[in-house]
């Protein structure tokens, strides 16, 4: 029987995930289909998952913490960061994973000689990725426009700054981890500050995908190698697919089939 998968979030209409997974299922002759579900209430995630008869799901904004609470079993990394973006059902139990951070790690590993990383932003995505990067030996510094979200990073021993107490220095990689630039052309940090940071960096990444943000445009003016969030999105999807299909296919095979989603509109 065909297995069913879905994306939960609010909104979900813009997401490439259904196309990515359906392309891979089709190319690999895997009997499955992936849809999307606009969830209004995160508390209803588990009952909706079972009511729809799903085998697995991805979870996007704003329900990754609800997904964490909905799972019966958690992979150690998902447990550590408190956010789940991939669920697989086995024997009527929900198993939760976080594939955003390993997806991001894979995306940045394609840049060479990166050791020090400056995150602009300190939200949910920064949380899981900073934790994994540190585990893998990167030195992560967080710069956020306001203080509140920085407290938990400070407690975990990260160097944290707001625009007021930050002194620009040389970082190998600068990452826009904010939503600045998603709906408009705003920068994730003051222009004067970025003008001091960018000449000293080796590369820049934006986690936003599907458009060239003001941040990436500026980085290009300094002739820096750049990436938008497409690779992160692709790689988190590949790793989720590995979980969905119980590791029946290699990363490279899945990647080749899924990346067609980025050619199709």
Residue number, 23 or 207, with CB nearest to ligand NDP: 207
Measured from the CB atom, is 3 or 225 closer to ligand NDP? Answer: 225
Catalytic annotation present for 26: no
Residues making up the chain, counted from first to last: 265
DSSP 200: G
Long-range CB contacts (< 8 A, 24+ apart) of 216-224?
216/176, 218/187, 218/191, 218/194, 219/174, 222/198, 224/198
Task: Give the residue with the Cβ less far from ligand NDP, 52 or 147.
Answer: 147
End-to-end CA distance of the chain: 30
Select which of 16, 55, 64, 106 is catalytic: 64
* Token couple for 123: 């939200």
Q: DSSP label at 150?
A: G
CA distance 234 to 241: 10
Query: Segment 18-57, which members bind ligand NDP (CB under 6 A)?
Result: none
Residue 142 Cα distances to 34, 92, 165, 247, angstroms: 36, 40, 12, 34
Within residues 202-261, the interface with ligand NDP by CB under 6 A covers 207-209, 229, 232-233, 236
What distance in Å separates the CA atoms of residue 207 and residue 8, rounded to the nearest whole number? 20
Nearer to ligand NDP, 172 or 228 (CB): 228
Site for ligand NDP in 77-136 (CB under 6 A): 100, 121-126
Q: Does 180 bind ligand NDP (CB under 6 A)?
A: yes
Q: Considering only residues 182, 193, 218, 253, which one is a binding residue for ligand NDP as defined by CB under 6 A? A: 182
Q: Are 4 and 53 in contact (CB under 8 A)?
A: yes
Positions in 128-167 near ligand NDP (CB under 6 A): 144-146, 149
CB of 184 to ligand NDP, least distance (A): 8
Residue 108: how many CA atoms within 13 Å on its side-chain side? Answer: 30
Whole-number minimum distance, CB 53 to ligand NDP, in Å? 27
Least distance in Å: CB of 75 to ligand NDP?
Answer: 18
Q: 166 and 111 in contact (C-beta within 8 Å)? A: no
Please state the closest distance from residue 178 (CB atom) to ligand NDP, in A.
Answer: 3
Chain contacts with ligand NDP (rule: CB under 6 A): 61, 100, 121-126, 144-146, 149, 177-180, 182, 186, 188, 207-209, 229, 232-233, 236
């Amino acid at each position: 029987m065909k297995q069913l998968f879905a994306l939960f979030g609010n909104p979900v209409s813009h997401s490439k995930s259904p196309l990515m997974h359906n392309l891979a299922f089709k190319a690999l002759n895997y009997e499955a289909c992936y849809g999307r579900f606009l969830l209004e209430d995160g508390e209803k995630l588990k009952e909706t998952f079972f009511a729809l008869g799903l085998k697995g799901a991805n979870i996007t904004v704003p329900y990754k913490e609800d997904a964490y609470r909905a799972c019966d079993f958690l992979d150690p990394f998902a447990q550590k960061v408190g956010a789940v973006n991939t669920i697989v059902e086995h024997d009527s139990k929900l198993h939760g994973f976080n594939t955003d951070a390993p997806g991001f790690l894979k995306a940045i590993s394609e840049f060479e000689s990166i050791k020090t990383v400056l995150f602009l932003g300190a939200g949910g995505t920064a949380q899981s990725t900073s934790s994994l990067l540190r585990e893998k030996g990167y030195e992560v510094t967080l710069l956020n426009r306001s203080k509140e979200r920085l407290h938990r990073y400070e407690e975990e021993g990260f160097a944290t700054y707001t625009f007021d107490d930050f002194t620009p220095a040389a970082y190998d990689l600068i990452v826009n981890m904010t939503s600045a630039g998603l709906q408009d052309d705003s920068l994730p940090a003051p222009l004067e500050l970025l003008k001091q940071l960018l000449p000293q960096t080796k590369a820049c990444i934006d986690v936003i995908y599907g458009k060239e943000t003001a941040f990436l445009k500026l980085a290009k003016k300094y002739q820096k190698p750049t990436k938008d969030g497409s690779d992160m999105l692709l790689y988190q999807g590949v790793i989720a697919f590995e979980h969905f299909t119980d590791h029946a296919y290699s990363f490279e095979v899945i990647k080749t089939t899924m990346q067609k989603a980025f050619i199709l509109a």
